[in-house]
Amino acid sequence: MSAARPEGAAARPERAARPGSGVVQVSGEVIATRRVGAYHHLTIVAPGVAELARPGQFAALAVGGPTTGNLLRRSFSIHKVSPSGTYGGTLDLVIAAKGPGTEWLTALRAHDTVDVVAPLGRPFPLPTEPVATVLVGGGYGSAPLFWLADVLRERGCSVEMVLGAASEDRLFGVVEARRAADGVTVTTDDGSAGHKGWVSDVLPEVFRRTGAPVAYACGPMGMLQSVTRVAADHGAVAQVAVEESMACGVGVCMTCVMPVRDKAGVTKMVRSCVEGPVFRGDRIRWEAFHDGVCGVPEDTVGAPRVGGH
Amino acid sequence: MAVDMSVTFTGRTLPNPVMTASGCAANGRELHRFFDVSHLGAFVTKTVMMDPRSGRGTPRMAETASGMLNSIGLQGPGIHAFVENDLPWLKSVGARVLVSIAGNTAGEFADVAKVLVDSDAFDCVVGVEVNISCPNVANRGLVFACDPLASGKVIALVREQLPRDVPMFAKLTPDVTDIVSIADAAVKSGATGLTMINTLLGMVIDTDRLRPHLGGITGGLSGPSIRPVAVRALWQVTAAMRDGRFQTVPLIGVGGVRTGRDALELIAAGATGIQVGTATFNDPTAPQRVLTELEALAESHGVARITELVGVAHDRMVIP
Ligand SMILES: Cc1cc2nc3c(=O)[nH]c(=O)nc-3n(C[C@H](O)[C@H](O)[C@H](O)COP(=O)(O)OP(=O)(O)OC[C@H]3O[C@@H](n4cnc5c(N)ncnc54)[C@H](O)[C@@H]3O)c2cc1C
Ligand SMILES: Cc1cc2nc3c(=O)[nH]c(=O)nc-3n(C[C@H](O)[C@H](O)[C@H](O)COP(=O)(O)O)c2cc1C
Ligand code: FES
């Protein structure tokens, strides 16, 4: 092995992960990258992902190349996958440049490579009956919803979409939504597109009109909480895809936890990368979240005892 | 010619020196999706205590230059659930397991060890790693491993619970004035090996919100940025053992290993075993890859056995 070659890259196989494990690790080639409003839409060749992925699952990407000082993986909802094509299977992601990792990813050009682990996490559970559904996306949170809409409509479900963002450039996929959904409502905080206000302002009407028993949502935590509340007010269940800081994305670091009740009503600090990112909204202990910090509710299994450590 | 990668700890031979690091690999199932964990020298489990623990709130981590800060708070299922669910699974896939244990008090460490020893799958356990880098409730939360007396007490109590032929490693923190004195106390109290190093205490402030980034305020620093500290700790303890200051025991090196070359650096400083921690978050196959790279490097150095390289840097100093 030559001394100049970074070992981290040299010995990594083209494609890791074991057969039947439901996940692959691939060195993916970027084949297209384009700006969409405030976001970057990347298409990456990632053989093996499309066959395994379901809407709501995510991909964890390494950033900065083999000798990078940014070691932690960055997670992104899978926007769509296609099993084969001129390049072999591909994976599409929608990325907002925010910090060093997403800056690096959005600066990638065609033919650059990026290490991808996907698909990860639990997908959106699908209804067994052809029911009415409401899909709510906040900002880039709409990315996984178009693919979900296609799958729902294949099953005979009707799909109403509500897309919200701070401003027009932060909406993703409004045109795509008109194709994928039976009805679309748009909101922006500043009124630069659609209704001025939040998705929670328009949702009650959408639930009343459609009578949907299930809602699917992806976006900021505050929005997911209000979708859960409005859904409950209308007798519907919300399935929400959460976003918590993740270091590994594969279940080994325990950084991505949040307090969630199980079927029996018992609260545990669960890993959102393996038991999520999709949870039933009414199982999440929303009251534990405050301004970017999440506490451990006192009745959580193994919670620090009062007066303890 | 292929290098013999096997290493021996207290009479137990492992096929190679590479292991996961406690808390960086969960309890096996997750990484087994990426590579066969039974191919590692040993699988090191997440530190387990007596009762289930929720750990801390979030944010639990911050990325730092070539590393990260974490404040998990030893989240875990408790030793009873561990021996019921996790250990039998590790055994079923043929893994050799180094079980990491801790306690809030010295007595709890021993109680945890007893439950482990009495468990059905104990035969897959190739050693116990005693994580003394955790707070001692009886002494205002002072970390056991910062105090030679408290360290010695824990080690002695755990030793009483373990069969004599089971290797027992004390895992040390580098956050002490003199790591050699802690190593000395652990070995005198019955540790048959030492694991070095645990994370260094650090802190990050969120400069947008101008408040501590972590929910737990301070956290443990890990990753390639701490590797020189691990090399130093291994070097000092190895030098002390070579000087006859206390009995020579095998060392497991951990801290910032990302490549086979990093592993070789720790071995040359005195480590017999190697654990790969934070690098696993960057690349889930990292432990396996480090092993492959280490083997190739050892071969390029022309040795027949990896153990020939243990502490080799101590013999190669050029003193003009
Ligand atoms: C399941 C899931 C799906 C996501 N989908 C998308 C998506 O489709 N498009 C998109 O633009 N972003 C998405 N995010 C958020 C994205 O992961 C973060 O914006 C990104 O990791 C920030 O990296 P950075 O280097 O720019 O920022 P930094 O703040 O420098 O990141 C430092 C570390 O913190 C973690 N981190 C920081 N912010 C977040 C966050 N909001 N969520 C998770 N980890 C974070 C990073 O992974 C990294 O390990 C998703 C997050 C999750 C958990
Ligand atoms: C997220 C995380 C959790 C950890 N949990 C434990 C633990 O439970 N017990 C323990 O002994 N060490 C724990 N460690 C420390 C590692 O085992 C290791 O000693 C340290 O991170 C240095 O190695 P590295 O730089 O390769 O990560 C943890 C480290 C990290 C990053
Ligand atoms: S991100 Fe590491 S366990 Fe979830």
Mean pLDDT, residues A213-231 taken together: 97
In a domain, B61, yes or no: no
The domain that contains B154 carries what CATH number?
Answer: 3.20.20.70
Whether residues A231 and A180 share a domain: the answer is yes
pLDDT greater than 70 at residue B306: yes
In-domain check, residue B62 = no
Q: A212 with A133: CB under 8 angstroms?
A: yes
Number of domains in chain A: 2
B26 lines ligand 2 (CB under 6 A): no
> Measured between CA atoms, how close is B62 to chain A, in angstroms?
9
**More reliable by pLDDT, A296 or A85:** A296
Which band of pLDDT confidence, cut at 50, 70 and 90, is reported for residue A146? Answer: very high
Q: How far apart are CA B228 and CA B239, in angstroms?
A: 16
User: Tens digit of pLDDT for each residue in B44-91?
Assistant: 999 999 999 999 999 999 999 999 999 999 999 999 999 999 999 999
Q: Is the pLDDT of residue A5 over 70?
A: no
CATH at A273 = 3.40.50.80
Under the banding of pLDDT at 50, 70 and 90, the label for residue A13 is: very low
* A151-170 residues touching B, CB cutoff 8 A: none
Is B85 labelled a binding residue?
no
Residues B205-226 have a mean pLDDT of 95
Q: Which residues line ligand 3 (CB under 6 A)?
A: A 246-249, 251-256, 271, 273
A21 touches chain B (CB under 8 A): yes
pLDDT at residue A96 above 80?
Answer: yes
| B224 part of contact set with chain A, CB < 8 Å | yes
Cβ of residue B249 closer than 8 Å to a chain A Cβ: no
Weakest mean pLDDT among A298-307, B199-208, B237-246: A298-307
pLDDT, mean over chain B: 96
Which of these three, A79, A94, A120, is where a domain ends? A120
Residue B106 has pLDDT above 80, yes or no: yes
Task: Establish if B46 belongs to a structural domain.
Answer: yes
The reply to whether A195 and A93 lie within a common domain is no
- Quick check: CB of B171 below 6 Å from ligand 2? yes
Asked whether residue A145 falls in the same domain as residue A258, the answer is yes
Residue predicted with more confidence, B199 or A86: B199
B81 touches chain A (CB under 8 A): no
B155 labelled ligand-binding: no
Same domain? For A236 and A267 the reply is yes
The answer to whether residue A84 sits within a structural domain is yes
Domain assignment of residue B211, yes or no: no
Chain B residues within 8 A of A8 when measuring between CB atoms: 258-259, 283, 289
Q: Is the pLDDT of residue A200 over 80?
A: yes
Q: What is the pLDDT of residue B320?
A: 85
In a domain? residue A78? yes
Whole-number Å distance, alpha carbon A115 to ligand 2 midpoint, is 24
Q: Does B118 touch chain A (CB under 8 A)?
A: no
Q: Is the pLDDT of residue A143 over 50?
A: yes
Q: Is the residue at B320 inside a domain?
A: no
Could you tell me if A247 lies within 8 Å of chain B, comparing CB atoms? yes
Whether residue B10 is annotated as binding a ligand: the answer is no
Is pLDDT at A4 greater than 50 in this prediction?
Answer: no
Which residues 121-140 of B have a C-beta within 8 angstroms of A? 135, 137
Question: Per residue in A129-163, is it b (16+ CB within 10 Å) or e — as a string?
Answer: eebbbbbbbbbbbbbbbbbbbbbbbeeebbbbbbb
Question: How does residue B24 score in pLDDT terms, banded at 50, 70 and 90?
Answer: very high
Structure tokens at A287: 């009251």
Share of chain B above pLDDT 90, in %: 93
**B193 marked among binding-site residues:** no
Residue A5 in any domain: the answer is no
- Is B306 part of any known ligand binding site? no
Interface touch A73/B258, C-beta < 8 Å: no
In a domain, B214, yes or no: no
Whether residues A89 and A186 fall in one domain: no
Does residue A258 share a domain with residue A159?
yes
- Are A274 and A187 found together in one domain? yes
B11-30 residues touching A, CB cutoff 8 A: 23-26, 30
Domain boundary among A120, A153, A174: A120
pLDDT at B140: 75
- B124 counts as catalytic: no
Rounded to the nearest whole angstrom, what is the distance from the C-alpha of residue A74 to the centroid of ligand 1? Answer: 5
For range A120-149, the mean pLDDT: 97
What's the pLDDT score for residue A305?
72
pLDDT greater at residue A17 or residue B8: B8
Q: Is the CB of B56 under 6 A from ligand 2?
A: no
Last residue of a domain, one of A120, A146, A173: A120
- Are A166 and A284 within one domain? yes
ipTM of this complex: 0.95
A267 is a domain residue: yes
pLDDT tens across B244-297, in order?
999 999 999 999 999 999 999 999 999 999 999 999 999 999 999 999 999 999
The verdict on a CB contact (< 8 Å) between B34 and A268 is no
A133 CA from centroid of ligand 2 (Å): 44
Is A163 within the bounds of a domain? yes
User: Looking at residue A118, what is its pLDDT?
Assistant: 97
Asked whether residue B289 is domain-assigned, the answer is yes
Please check whether residue A172 lies inside any domain of the structure: yes
Task: Using an 8 Å CB-CB cutoff, list chain B residues near A257.
Answer: 55, 58, 60, 75
How many domains is chain B built from?
1
Q: Do B33 and A17 touch (CB under 8 A)?
A: yes
Parent domain of A253 = 132-294
Query: Per residue in A47-95, pLDDT tens?
Result: 999 999 999 999 999 999 988 999 999 999 999 999 976 667 999 999 9
Nearest to B137 by CA among B14, B53, B195, B212: B53
Segment B225-246 shows an average pLDDT of 98
Instruction: Provide the whole-model pTM.
Output: 0.95
Q: How large a percentage of chain B has pLDDT more than 70?
A: 100
Question: Where residue A302 falls among pLDDT bands split at 50, 70, 90?
Answer: very high
**Residue B287 belongs to domain spanning:** 7-55+71-201+221-315
| Cβ A243 under 6 angstroms from ligand 1 | yes
* Best B54, B64, B80, B140 residue to mutate vs chain A (most A CBs within 10 Å): B54
Query: Which pLDDT belongs to residue B135?
Result: 78
User: Which CATH number goes with the domain that contains A102?
Assistant: 2.40.30.10
Do both A290 and A239 map to the same domain? Answer: yes
Is residue B185 very low, low, confident or very high in pLDDT (cuts 50, 70, 90)?
very high
Residue A19: pLDDT over 90: no
For residue A16, pLDDT beyond 90: no
Asked if A179 and A89 sit in the same domain, the reply is no
pLDDT tier, A7 (very low <50, low <70, confident <90, very high otherwise):
very low
Domain annotation covers residue A307: no
B41 within some domain = yes
Q: Band of the pLDDT at B26, cuts 50, 70, 90?
A: very high
The closest CB to that of A70, out of B57, B63, B135, belongs to B63
Residues A178 and A220 placed together within one structural domain of the fold:
yes
Do A287 and A147 sit in the same domain of this protein? yes
pLDDT at A10: 38
A247 lies in a domain? yes
How high does pLDDT run on average in chain A?
92
Given a contact cutoff of 8 angstroms between Cβ atoms, the answer to whether B242 and B261 are in contact is: no
